[in-house]
Amino acid sequence: MITNPLLIFVAAFIVNNILLMRYIGLCPFFGVSTSLSTAFGMSTAVLFVMLLSTWVTWIIFHFVLLPLDLVFLRTAAFILVIAALVQFVEMFLKKNFKTLYTAMGIYLPLITTNCAILAVTFLVIDYKYSLFQSTIFAIGTAFGFGLVIILFSAIRERLEFAPISRSLKGYPIAFIAASLVALAFLGFIGLFGLTL
Amino acid sequence: MKQKVNHLKYLTDGIIIDNPILVLMIGLCPTLATSITAKDAFGMGIAASFVLICSNLVVSAIRKLIPDAVRIPVFIIVISTFVTIVDYVMQAYAPALYRVLGVFVPLIVVNCIILGRAEAFAYKNGIIDSFLDGFGKSIGFTLVIVVMGIIREYFSTGSIFGIIIGPKFLISNPVLFMIFPPGGFLLIGIFKALINKFVIKQESVG
């Protein structure tokens, strides 16, 4: 198990990249990565919500579910907490931080059913990370999500104008492009001795 | 008589015409992540199908009791109940499969197919129709994931469902590309292109 915070960050950021290596959070990946601005808005929102929900669910798991022996409620509790949290954050931003809300407001409801958020909250429990390590892991994962989605949106903007067969247009060519990007990321396996 | 045809249509639509993965493009994460071998893919297909059919049944049974404003949280509670059941049953009776699927078992709860069908179909239709719809979509999902599992397992180990059938050169020189993530993306891309060419084409033109 990795304990060094720097290695946790690198592993979550690149080596075990949540989109390309773990295959989590693909629905927003293909849905939102059509232009650079939406990709940027989405990744900011993901960073924000991922950090908050990791803290909240970590605290709930360790201070409520474990002492009360209610671990079997984990799935239900986490998803409900995240859904409520996202709703709350949305209202809070709308009232107090108008600029931030206009930047990422429309992406917040979409994030509730983003598997990436829920996966991170489960993974930090499975890996038995401390709150500090969980924070590093969440930041690294969100950065990895952002990096790939922003890189990929640039590729997709070019693909729009590529002269390809009609049945390949849209999703199929996006998947094939994702395959090539993932192939590039495979090269990072073994970096600092980190494996898949 | 017309009514009867319509009912069966709910079942058959999910397999090809409305295939959740290849046509509706939802539920991609488990499809790619758990289709490394045919057996794991089949396990994931069965687990997700169980949750989908049960949650469709329960949601349609209680649809008149759910207030409109809180329907999404109610769906999530129903779905997560069944996911928890699957989680614990699999841990007890198929621990090897559980270790391979890992975090993807609890993640069935955010599988867009299940919440999507609860919202788009089960909340508005009767129990029998919802069952047929869930069953059809389950077959569509399991079919795609198992076919992907078979292809990826064959090219990466030369066997299918653990039975070695491949030619010698494939066993000694496996195409490791296929078990790594790029192989999964490539396969889905090719499948989707074929579906676009042969299935959706007639509809968009006509």
With respect to residue A60, please indicate whether it lies within any of the assigned structural domains: yes
Question: What is the predicted pLDDT for the residue at A61?
Answer: 92
Structural domain including A100 reads 17-193
Say if the Cβ atoms of B103 and A123 lie within 8 Å: yes
Q: Which residues of A touch B110 (CB under 8 A)?
A: 79, 113-115, 118
More confident residue, A170 or A1: A170
| Mean pLDDT comparison of A22-36, A182-196, B105-119, B132-146, highest-scoring range | B132-146
* Alpha helix ranges (H) inside chain B: 2-13, 28-33, 38-61, 71-93, 95-101, 112-117, 127-157, 168-172, 181-195, 201-205
Q: What's the whole-number mean pLDDT along residues A24-30?
A: 79
With respect to residue B188, please indicate whether it lies within any of the assigned structural domains: no
With respect to residue B115, please indicate whether it lies within any of the assigned structural domains: yes
Contact B155, B175 (CB under 8 A): yes
Question: What is the predicted pLDDT for the residue at B54?
Answer: 93
pTM of the model: 0.84
With respect to residue A8, please indicate whether it lies within any of the assigned structural domains: no
With respect to residue B201, please indicate whether it lies within any of the assigned structural domains: no
Say if the Cβ atoms of B110 and A173 lie within 8 Å: no
Say if the Cβ atoms of A24 and B33 lie within 8 Å: yes
With respect to residue A4, please indicate whether it lies within any of the assigned structural domains: no
Domain count, chain A: 1
Q: What's the whole-number mean pLDDT along residues A46-58?
A: 90
With respect to residue B157, please indicate whether it lies within any of the assigned structural domains: no
Question: What is the predicted pLDDT for the residue at B2?
Answer: 46
Q: Backbone phi, then psi, for B159, in 5-degree steps?
A: -130, 165
H helix or E strand, kind and range, residue B161 = none
Instruction: Establish if A1 touches chain B: CB-CB under 8 angstroms.
Output: no
Taking CA–CA distances from A109, the nearest residue in chain B reads B72
Question: What is the predicted pLDDT for the residue at B205?
Answer: 40
**Token pair for residue A185?**
């990321």
User: Given pLDDT bands bounded at 50, 70 and 90, which one contains residue A26?
Assistant: confident
With respect to residue A72, please indicate whether it lies within any of the assigned structural domains: yes
With respect to residue A7, please indicate whether it lies within any of the assigned structural domains: no
Per-residue pLDDT of chain B (206 residues; tens, 9 = 90+): 445 557 777 777 777 777 888 877 777 888 888 888 888 899 999 999 999 999 999 999 998 888 887 888 888 889 999 999 999 999 999 898 888 888 888 888 888 788 888 888 888 888 888 998 899 999 999 999 999 999 988 888 888 887 877 777 777 777 878 888 888 889 988 988 888 888 765 554 43
CA neighbor of B110 nearest in space, from A22, A73, A82, A84: A82
Contact B58, B112 (CB under 8 A): no
Interface test with A, best of B70, B83, B110 (most A CBs within 10 A): B110
The answer, yes or no, to whether residue A104 has pLDDT greater than 60, is yes
Residue A35: DSSP 8-state = S
* DSSP-based three-state secondary structure for B163: strand
Interface test with B, best of A88, A171, A186, A195 (most B CBs within 10 A): A171
Question: What is the predicted pLDDT for the residue at A58?
Answer: 93
With respect to residue B14, please indicate whether it lies within any of the assigned structural domains: yes
The Cα of A23 is separated from the nearest Cα of chain B by a number of Å equal to: 5
Q: Which residues of B touch A115 (CB under 8 A)?
A: 29, 107, 110-111
CA neighbor of A122 nearest in space, from B105, B77, B89: B105
Contact B126, B1 (CB under 8 A): no
With respect to residue B133, please indicate whether it lies within any of the assigned structural domains: yes
Say if the Cβ atoms of A173 and B103 lie within 8 Å: no
With respect to residue B24, please indicate whether it lies within any of the assigned structural domains: yes
d(CA B206, CA B202): 6
d(CA A119, CA A18): 9
Instruction: Establish if B25 touches chain A: CB-CB under 8 angstroms.
Output: yes
With respect to residue A39, please indicate whether it lies within any of the assigned structural domains: yes
Domain count, chain B: 1
Question: What is the predicted pLDDT for the residue at B55?
Answer: 92
User: Given pLDDT bands bounded at 50, 70 and 90, which one contains residue A141?
Assistant: very high
* ipTM for the assembly: 0.81
The answer, yes or no, to whether residue A66 has pLDDT greater than 80, is yes
Q: Which residues of B touch A123 (CB under 8 A)?
A: 103
d(CA A142, CA A27): 15
Structural domain including B40 reads 2-146
With respect to residue A25, please indicate whether it lies within any of the assigned structural domains: yes
With respect to residue A1, please indicate whether it lies within any of the assigned structural domains: no
Interface test with A, best of B29, B148, B204 (most A CBs within 10 A): B29
Contact B137, B117 (CB under 8 A): yes
Q: Backbone phi, then psi, for A129, in 5-degree steps?
A: -75, 150
d(CA B115, CA A62): 28
